[in-house]
Amino acid sequence: MQLHYGDLCDSAGLVKIISKVKPDEIYNLAAQSHVSFDLAEYTGNVDAMGTLRLLDAIQTCGMDKNVKFFQASTSEMFGKVQEVPQKESTPFYPRSPYGRKILFLFRMS
């Protein structure tokens, strides 16, 4: 395995990496290590829009039919837990701005 470093706020850089590497799989584990609601716009830019930029880079490179994309997200999307344990069909009920931003992204894509 070889790691490639990039910035989720840099669309052109993401396209450059994906077009160079031509990966079969992409695992997005990126996020802020500490979410601050004082920096809510930055949180959305990195965590939510960053994922959207990554998906767009895959599409821009013409690899959207070939690349398996794995997204690690936050339990904040579930918010007020409706069932335990959560699974793919568990309804989202976010209770924080962070959870709502992530949920909004997934509804867009």
Tell me if residue 26 falls in helix, strand or coil: strand
Catalytic status, residue 5: no
Catalytic status, residue 98: yes
Amino acid symbol at 56: D
Look up residue 9 and give its DSSP letter. Answer: T
Query: How many beta carbons lie within 10 A of that of residue 13, not counting itself?
Result: 15
The domain that contains 36 carries what CATH number?
A: 3.40.50.720
Average pLDDT over all residues of the chain: 82
Is the pLDDT reported for residue 109 higher than 80? Answer: no
Catalytic status, residue 88: no
Domain assignment of residue 74, yes or no? yes
pTM here is 0.72
Q: CA nearest 24: which of 78, 67, 81, 88?
A: 67
Number of domains in the chain: 1
Domain assignment of residue 50, yes or no? yes
Which is the catalytic residue, given 5, 41, 74, 90?
Answer: 74
What is the mean predicted confidence (pLDDT) over 36-63? 86
Residue range 72-103, pLDDT digits in tens: 876 776 777 788 888 878 887 777 666 666 66
Give the range of the structural domain holding residue 42, as residue numbers without chain letter: 11-107
Which is the catalytic residue, given 76, 88, 90, 93?
Answer: 76
Percent of the chain with pLDDT strictly greater than 90: 36
So what's the pLDDT on residue 98?
63
